[in-house]
Amino acid sequence: MRPKVIAGNWKMHHGPAATRRFFSKFFGEFSPRLSGAEPTILIFPPAISLLAAAESKGGRPEISLGIQNIHWEPKGAFTGEHSVGMALAAGARFALVGHSERRHVFGETDAQVESKVAAAMREGLTPVVCVGETLDERRDSRVQEVIVRQLDAALLGVPEDVKNSILVAYEPVWAIGTGETATVDDVADAHGILRRRLREVRGDAFAQEVAILYGGSVKPANAAELLAVADVDGVLVGGASLDPESFARIVESG
Ligand code: 13P
């Protein structure tokens, strides 16, 4: 069985000082289990807080850090962007790619998602590829078409002989930051579609390795129910990951 992954996307919250405060409180709230069945914890702070996060987390092996966005070029005149190499040097091991806010607020395209996945894989940063439909697309019964198209584009960036895997996050756009959570049936359907597509495109062994996370208004009260759904290998938490206590409660559900 894949260990559960509990990921927190802080979006544009928590600068370096708030990041240090988060970790000292989180470590007070969360004690690793002795059973060995630990969930994997991923935290995606703003890029400017990565070093503070890396220092604060110290040697805790159950926690890894990620960057919320990367550029596909290794360096150059790209004001405001961060390369994969810079993210690695600042302590990131994962990168969100194609988050719905990148796609819908900043106009990120499927082709850019492919380039970012390829750059991350080339240099050893594990991409967490985000896919999800808007409310209009759901109402038009286009969920499968949209998430398969987004997944296929991302998979074009994954080399055939890949050693390290990717993660996928299903985040229906209408459930992000709205308090609306997809029903367990909606989540099971979407995750089943994604798992089948991974199998069709890359074969069974690859599909089995990929953790598929659900994101969209996950909180302590609904995390356990969502984590029990078939093909849900973890959660990607926005708002409720900012508070160390509520994030610790979600981690304990994993
Ligand atoms: P919320 O948990 O705030 O709905 O955000 C979800 C999200 O976008 C995580 O990446």
Residue numbers annotated as active site: 99, 171
54 burial (CB, 10 Å; 0-12 / 13-18 / 19+) is middle
Tokens 């208004």 correspond to what residue?
217
Would you state the pLDDT for residue 38?
75
CATH of domain 5-253: 3.20.20.70
Q: How far apart are the C-alpha atoms of 133 and 136, rounded to whole Å?
A: 8
Q: What is the pLDDT of residue 230?
A: 95
Amino acid at 201: V
Ligand 1 atom having least distance to the Cα of 176: 4
pTM: 0.96
* DSSP output for 180-219: ----HHHHHHHHHHHHHHHHHHH-HHHHHH-EEEEESS--
Beta bridge partners of 67: 95
Q: What is the mean pLDDT of residues 27-42?
A: 76
**CB 249, CB 241: distance < 8 Å:** no
Judged against a pLDDT cut of 60, whether residue 34 lies above it is answered with no
Dump pLDDT digits (tens) for 127-149. 999 999 999 999 999 999 999 99
- Residue 37, pLDDT score: 65
The CA–CA distances, whole Å, from 169 to 9, 107, 238, 240 equal 12, 19, 12, 17
172 lines ligand 1 (CB under 6 A): no
Instruction: State in Å: Cα 217 to ligand 1 middle.
Output: 6
Tens of pLDDT, residues 190-204: 999 999 999 999 999
H helical segments located in 106-239: 110-123, 135-139, 143-156, 184-202, 204-209, 223-227
* Residue 216, φ and ψ in degrees, nearest 5: 140, 95
- Name the residue with the closest Cα to ligand 1, atom 1: 238
> Tokens 């996950």 belong to which residue?
218
Q: How far is the CA of 139 from the centre of ligand 1 (A)?
A: 21
User: Which atom number of ligand 1 is nearest to the Cα of residue 96?
Assistant: 10
Q: Is pLDDT of 32 > 90?
A: no
**Burial environment of residue 24 by CB neighbours within 10 A (0 to 12, 13 to 18, 19 or more):** exposed
In sequence order, what are the beta bridge partners of 97? Answer: 129
Asked if 3 and 234 count as a contact pair (C-beta separation under 8 A), the reply is no
